[in-house]
Structure 1
Amino acid sequence: MTTATTNLAETIGQELRLPDIDPEYYVYAVYDQASCQACVDACPGKAWILTEESLGLDTDSCNGCGLCVSSCPSGALHMHFPWTIRHFGGKPLALFACGQAGLPDSKDVMPCVHALGTRQLMVMHTAGITDLLIAQGDCSSCPMICDRSILLQERIEHLNRLLSERHLAPMKLLSYSNAVWRKIYKQEEIISRGTLLKRRDFLGGSASRKLKQQMVILNPLNRSECQTIPPGALLPDAISENGRSWPWAPRFESTQCNGCDACIRLCPTDALQLSNSDGKAAYLIEEKYCTGCNICAD
C-alpha cells in the first residue's frame, strides 16, 4: 500500500469514527449563554473544546467512543448504532458488542457499549426490546472510559425505576460470556416489529420538525426522528400521581420568578408552556418533553 493510500485510509477511518453533528439541535443554537457541557464532561480524550466563543472538536483526539452521543441532552450528536436482533428464549434480543471484546471485526461491533444512552434505551423499549446481551472487554482498563463516564448499567437502573412506576417490563442486561454472544449472533437475523411513534412525541422548537402522522419504524436507533426525541415522550404517565417521575423535569421556584417568560420562549421542546385559562396566565410543565438541557435554568 502506498503512502498516499495509507494516508487516505487513515483519513477516512478518522472521519468515520467522528460523531455526526446536527447544529440545529445544539443547545447553543437556542441560547448562546447556555451552561451545557455534557459532551466535554463525557469525553475521555478531552476532544471537545468549549470556550466562551465556541464549541469545537479536536478530531485528532477523538477516539470515536460515542460517549458524547449518549450524554448530549438535545440529541445534536449522533453515531451509527447496530440494530442486531435475535430470538432468545422466545423473545427478541438486542445484541451489542464493543471493540474491546475480542470479537471478529463486524459492522455490528461498536466502539463502546456505554454510548447507549437513555434515549436509545427508551426507543428500544418502545420497539418491544427489553433484553440486551452485551459483549465487552474490561472497562476498568479501557481508554474509552474515564471517571466521569456514566455506564450503561447506571442508565438502565435509572430507566427501570421509571418503568416500574408505570408497571412496564424492565430492561434487562443478560449476563453471558462473549462466547455465548458469538453463538447467538450467528443465528438467523430477525426483523423486529419496529417502534410506533406518535406525532405528539415529536415536539421540537418549530412546527416543521413535528411528525405529521404515525410511523412504524424499523431500525429506530438510526432514524433522525428517534435521535432527538425526548426520552420521556415515549413513556406513558405513571400509574399514580405519587409515582410520577420522568427522566428530567424542570421545577419553578415561584418566589424568584418575575414572569419574564424567557424560559417559555427558549425551551426547544415545549416542556415549558404558557396557559391563559379564564384570563389567568399560568406556566405549565410538560415533564415528558424535558431533555435536561438546562436552558430554562440558565
Structure 2
Amino acid sequence: MGFFTRAAMDALMKTTHPEINRRQCWNLHPHRKSCTACKDICPYGDQIFTRPNLVKDWDPCTDCGLCVSVCRSRCISPSPEQVERDTSAADTDNDTIWIGCEKSARKNSMVRACIASLSWEALAYLALNKKIVLDLTPCGECENDTCADQLRAELTRLVEFFGETMFEARFTLAYEPDEAPYHVKELTRREMFEQVGHGSKSGTKQLLRMLPGLRADEDGGADFRLLLHQRTRQLKAAMPDNPLHYGCYLPSFTDKCFACGKCEKACRAGALKQEDLPDGQTRMVVTPWKCSECGVCVAACSNKGLDGMKLRQLTTLGPVSLHKCTKTLCKNCGKPIAPDSAGGLCSVCRIKERTKQRQEEARARAQKLKEEREAKKAAEEAAKAAEQAAAPAAEPAVEAAAPAAPQSVAAMLTDEAAAAAGAETAAAVPKTD
C-alpha cells in the first residue's frame, strides 16, 4: 500500500520543468551587459528560451537543473520534483553519497546529466547530512566548457562556504576510477519495507505542505537555500557551544549609507529590509538564505553606501543586522537624505526650490518690465496731453496774421501791374529828335 501511495503522490506532485520569476531576473535591472547564462548552458537553449527571462516552450526541457544552478539572481526556481530528487539522498542510510554524471563508468548512487546541474546550495545541504564523493573521472574528456566553468565556480563557492578544512572533511574529489570506490549497503527485508514506508510518508507530507492553508510563509518559496537554512539551524541547536560557521556573501554597507531604501526596493527576493529602532536609528537587516548574492542592491545604490559583496562568517542563514544609521529627513517631503545635504532638502525638493526661485525671479523681472512700460506709456500720454493743451493758445495768433498776408500780396500785384503798364506806354510813345 505504501508503494502505491508513494507513486500516486509523485504523480500528483510531478512538475517537469523549473519556474521563472521574471521580476527577479538580472536583465530587468540596468547593467552594461545582459546575462544569458541560462540560455547558454541549457542543451536546448534555443528551443526553450526566446531570451533569457522569457520561455518559448518547455516541452524539450528534461528538468536537468543546469539553468537553476547557473542563474546568478536565482530567478529560476527548481521544480518540486527536482528538489525531491536532488535532496532525497540525504535521507538514506548510507554514510556517503556518490555523485556522478551519465558518462561515468562507475556505479554512483546519484547520477545526473552533469554534476554542475546540482547547485552549490544542494551540494552543501547534502554535505551537512552525508559525506560526498564527486566522480570527476569523465570531466577531463568533456568538451562542454560552460558546464566545466560552472562546476569550478560551484566548488569554489563550497570552499568559501565551508572553509578548506571542513570542505576536505566532507567532500572527496575522485579523478580516477579507483579512488573512493562505491560500496552498496545491503538492506534486510525489514529495512527495505521501512524505506518504502518512509518514502510514502515523505510524499504525503510534501503533498499536504502544498495544500492551501497548511503552508507556512517560510515554505512558500521552498528551494535548496531554504533547506540549507533549516539544516544549519538544526546543527546550531544540536551544537550550541561550538556552532559551525558558514561563509556567505552579503552586501557591505559604508558610513555613507543613510537608509534611502533604494537597495531594499531593488532586491526582488526580499532579502533586504529596513527596521526603525526605538532610539531613532534605522538598521539594515539581511536574510542570507533569501539573498542570491547577485549584487543588484550594490548596482542600485547611487550614494556609495554599498561597497560590493563581502564574505562573512555566520552560524546560521537567518536574519542578521549589518548596518545602523540615523535618518535625516527632508524638510519638505520627509524622505531620507544625506546628513550633509544642502539646505536640508532632498535632490527632488532642491530642484523644486531652485525652479520656484527662478520662477519668482522671472516673475519679478516681468513685473519690473511691466512697470517700466506703464511708466513710459504714462510719460508719453502726459507729453501728448501737454502738447494738446498748448495748441489752442497758438491758433488765434495764426488767425490774426492770416488777413494781412493777402493784402500785401494784392499790393504787390498792383505795383507789378502798374510797372508793366508804364513800360507799355513808354514803348508806344514815338521818339522826337
TM bracket, shorter-chain basis: 0.5 to 0.7
TM-score when normalising by structure 2:
0.43
Q: Which runs of 5+ in 1 are unaligned?
A: 1-15, 194-206, 213-223
- Using a 3 Å threshold, how does the CA distance of structure 1 residues 171 and 42 change in structure 2: closer, same or farther? farther
Q: Secondary structure at the match of 1:250?
A: strand
1:149–1:232: structure 2 CA closer, same or farther, 3 Å change rule?
A: farther
Partner Cα separation in structure 2 for residue 259 and residue 44 of structure 1:
43
Q: Secondary structure at the match of 1:274?
A: strand
Distance 1:247 1:41, change over 3 A: farther
| Structure-to-structure mapping, 1:109-120, within 5 angstroms | 109-120=111-122
CA RMSD for the aligned pairs? 4.8
Q: Contact between 1:118 and 1:155, CA under 8 Å: does it hold in 2?
A: yes
Output the CA distance in 2 between the equivalents of 1:58 and 1:211: 28
2:165 and 2:177 map into 1 onto residues whose CA distance is 33
2:251 aligns to what SS in structure 1?
A: coil
CA distance in 1, matches of 2:19, 2:59: 20
- Identity, in percent, stands at 19
Count residues in correspondence. 243
The runs of 4+ residues in structure 1 deviating greater than 6 Å are 85-88, 165-169, 179-182
Describe how 1:51-66 pairs up with structure 2 within 5 A: 51=51, 54-56=53-55, 65-66=64-65
CA–CA distance in 1 between the matches of 2:246 and 2:181? Answer: 38
Higher relative contact order (CA 8 A, sep 6+): 1
Q: Are 2:86 and 1:81 aligned?
A: yes
Name stretches of at least 5 consecutive residues in structure 2 with no aligned partner: 1-13, 199-214, 301-433
- Alignment-mate amino acid for residue 95 of structure 1: W
Q: CA deviation at 1:117?
A: 1.7
Which amino acid letter does the alignment assign opposite residue 271 of structure 1? A
| 1:289–1:146 CA distance, 2 compared to 1 (3 A) | closer
SS at match of 2:127: helix
Question: Which residue pairs with 1:173 in the alignment?
Answer: 172
Shift in Å, 1:116? 1.8
Contact 1:19/1:64 (<8 A) preserved? yes
Secondary structure at the aligned position of 1:251 is classed as strand
Which residue of the partner structure matches residue 139 of structure 2? 139
Identify the range of structure 1 (116-125 vs 58-67) with the bigger mean alpha-carbon deviation. 58-67
1-side partners of 2:176 and 2:140: how far apart? 18
Question: Which residue does 1:204 correspond to in 2?
Answer: none
Partner residue in 2 for 1:28: 23
In the aligned structure 1, how far is the partner of 2:246 from the partner of 2:57? 37
State the shift of 1:294 in Å.
Answer: 3.5
Q: Is 2:295 aligned against 1:294?
A: yes
Q: Secondary structure at the match of 1:81?
A: helix
SS in 2 for 1:247: strand
- The match for 1:101 among 101, 104, 111 is 104
From 224, 228, 237, the counterpart of 1:227: 224
Kindly provide the amino acid, as one letter, of the partner of residue 210 in structure 1: E
CA distance in 2, matches of 1:258, 1:99: 52
1:1-298, aligned counterparts within 5 Å? 20-23=17-20, 26=21, 28=23, 33-34=28-29, 37-40=36-39, 42-43=41-42, 46-47=45-46, 49=49, 51=51, 54-56=53-55, 65-72=64-71, 73-74=73-74, 76-78=77-79, 79=82, 80-81=85-86, 83-84=88-89, 92-102=95-105, 108-126=110-128, 128-129=129-130, 131-146=131-146, 149-151=149-151, 154-164=153-163, 170-175=169-174, 178=177, 183-185=182-184, 187-188=186-187, 209-211=217-219, 225-229=222-226, 235=232, 246-252=247-253, 255=256, 259-277=259-277, 278-287=279-288, 289-296=290-297, 297-298=299-300
Structure of greater Rg: 2
Q: 1:132 to 1:125 in 2, by over 3 A?
A: closer
Cα distance change, pair 291–283 in 1 and its aligned pair in 2 (3 A): same
Distance 2:173 2:164 in 1: 22
1:110–1:185 Cα change, 3 Å: farther
